[in-house]
Structure 1
Amino acid sequence: MLPDLVLIGLGIAVFPLSVTAFVLVLSAKRGTWKGLAFILSWLACFVAVLVAVLVATGGQPPPPKSPPSTATSAVKLAIGVGLVGYGWYRHAHRHAERPKETSGRTAARLERISGWTAAGLGPLLQPWGLVAAGAATVVGADLSRTSSYVALVGYCVLATSSLLAMELYAVFAPDSARERLGRLRTWFQTHQNQALVAVSLVVGLFLVGRSILQLTS
């Protein structure tokens, strides 16, 4: 379970659409407070998904080769195939650029959002394919073991680490953060498609391989 959660958590942390949107939120007036609202709502939704899974399983992983275990592996396989397909689609259409004018209007709107809107964007902008993959992996958590609690907490922190790092940077070094996060925003806007392809293919192929191994072993 741990290797799966580490890779999925990293994928969530560097997901380009979420990172770019969060940088725009931080660029707004009183951006650090709006960034905090974004993170809190993001984390609340993220944890709620995991809690729902753990309540459904009772904190006990299904026995190997049982119908629930097989179904979980099949779900992860389907998510992996979907991520690979999405990555391939983005790569195949890499030359279809989004109009800069529309992108600029979107950025301008995000820079003027309210705190409540920022909080609403947190769950909305989560990469739900990766979140679903993480939820399917958490089905195997055994809450009778301390290591499972450590893995789950670490997964939540890792998945939110990029947002937390940017928020803390903006709080403690606002002038430097404004310049460097602006460069990060420009980089992501320029290389967004390549980053999406890389994250989707790496995590998708990993999930496909792991799921096939679990289904056939």
Structure 2
Amino acid sequence: MVLDLVIIGLAIAVFPLSVTAFVLVLSARKGTWKGLAFILGWLACFVGVLAIVLFATDGKPPAARSTPSTASSAVKLAIGVGLVGYGWYRHRRGPRHNTGDEADGPRHTSSGGMMGRLDRISVWAATGMGPLLQPWGLVAAGAATVVEADLSHTSSYLALAVYCVLATSSLLAMEIYAAVAPGSAHDRLGRLRAWLQSHQNRALVAVSLTAGLFLVGRSVYQLAT
């Protein structure tokens, strides 16, 4: 369980779409407060999902080869296959290139419009964005893995805490940086946003294929043993 949660947590932390959205929130007016609200909403939903799973299992892992155990592995297998398929689709499609002045204009306008909308959203709206922008396929894979948690052991609590911190680590790092050094953070986050926009497709392919292949391999092994 621990290895699975570490890999899934890292994949959630670096998922390009979530990171890009959070960078945009931090770049908005009063972005530090909106970023904090985003993280609190993210964590509340994240912990809530884990709590529901643990309540359903009563903190006890299902017996090996039981129906719940097999269903958990089957869910992870399906998610893994879906991630591999999505990664392959993004790879085959390739990045969308805009050329010429005509293409540059709408892209710039779209980015400016997005920033304008983020400037106007409230802190409460930023809180709601956190759960909405989570990579729910990976979150579901994590929930299926948490079924194996045994709360009679302290190590399970530690594994769950590490999982939550890992999954939120990129957001926390950017939030702390923006709060401690807002001047340099603004420039660096701007460069990060530009890099993500130009390399987003490759990053999505890499994260989706890596996490998907891992989930497929682990699930097949668990179903076969």
Q: Structure 2-normalised TM-score?
A: 0.93
The superposition leaves residues 49-95 of structure 1 with CA deviations (integer Å, 9 ceiling, x where unpaired) of 00000000000000001111011100000000000001011111114
Query: Contact between 1:84 and 1:205, CA under 8 Å: does it hold in 2?
Result: yes
Tell me if 1:207 matches 2:224: no
Alignment of 1:38-187 (within 5 A): 38-97=38-97, 100=107, 101-187=109-195
Residues 171-203 of structure 1: per-residue CA shift (max 9 Å, x gap): 010101001111111111110111111000000
Percent identity for Structure 1 against Structure 2:
73
* 1:24–1:111 Cα contact (<8 Å) kept: no
Listed one character per residue, the Cα deviations across residues 16-63 of structure 1 (whole Å, up to 9, x for unaligned) are 111111111111111111110000000000000000000000000000
Larger Rg: 2
Amino acid at match of 1:16: P
Equivalent pair of 1:25/1:113 in contact (CA under 8 Å):
no
Three-state SS of the structure 2 residue aligned to 1:120 is helix
Q: Which residue of 2 aligns with 1:26?
A: 26
Instruction: Return the letter of the residue paired with 1:160.
Output: T
- Give the superposition deviation at 1:112: 3.6
Identify which of 166, 190, 193 aligns with 2:201: 193
Aligned length: 217
TM-score of the aligned structures, taking structure 1 as reference length: 0.96
- Once superposed, what is the RMSD of the aligned Cα atoms? 1.3
Q: Which residue of 1 aligns with 2:13?
A: 13
Q: Which amino acid aligns with 2:11?
A: G
- Per-residue deviation, 1:107: 4.0
Name the CA distance, whole Å, in 1 between partners of 2:207 and 2:119: 26
Cα distance in 1, alignment partners of residues 111 and 221 from structure 2: 42
